[in-house]
Amino acid sequence: MPAPEASCAESHLLPDLPQPMPVANPETTTTQDLARLVLSYIEDFWTGRKIPGDELRRIIATSCPRQADAVWKLLFPAHVVKLHTTDFFILREHERRPKGYDGLIDDAGILPCDEPAPF
């Protein structure tokens, strides 16, 4: 039986928020497994979008609180890069970046500008 649709009042409140990240079992999961899990989640819900720094830190902290620092070190700058002076990140792979950021080359994980090229 299909799930009931959200009412009009509910559907506009949170239009496209990512689904909660599954929590991993810390006893059976390595740091690399956790990093892959977090990266997979980010790719599913943040491809083509800027990731607020607070949201990225929350995703990492809630999915692997004991290994958050180690997971962060595996993800940045290998898989996510920072937008210059902002607290936003995007995925490193050019085809997963928002429009305008696909040709930019980063320096140690930080892109040289905050705004994408206009065309």
The residue-averaged pLDDT of 90-104 equals 90
Q: How many CA atoms lie within 13 A of 93 on its CB side?
A: 11
Q: What pLDDT, on a 0 to 100 scale, did the predictor assign at position 105?
A: 86
User: How many domains, the chain?
Assistant: 1
Quick check: is 18 in a domain?
Answer: no
- Inside any domain, residue 103: yes
* 14 within a domain of the structure (yes/no): no
Residue 68 in any domain: the answer is: yes
Residue 104 inside a domain? The answer is yes
What are the tens digits of pLDDT across the range 19-35? 555 555 555 568 999 99
Position 62 in a domain? yes
Q: Is 76 part of any domain?
A: yes
What confidence score (pLDDT) does residue 7 get?
A: 40
Whether the Cβ atoms of residue 42 and residue 53 lie closer than 8 Å to each other: no
For residue 66, the enclosing domain spans: 30-111
Give percent of the chain above pLDDT 70: 73
Whether 94 maps to a domain, the answer reads yes
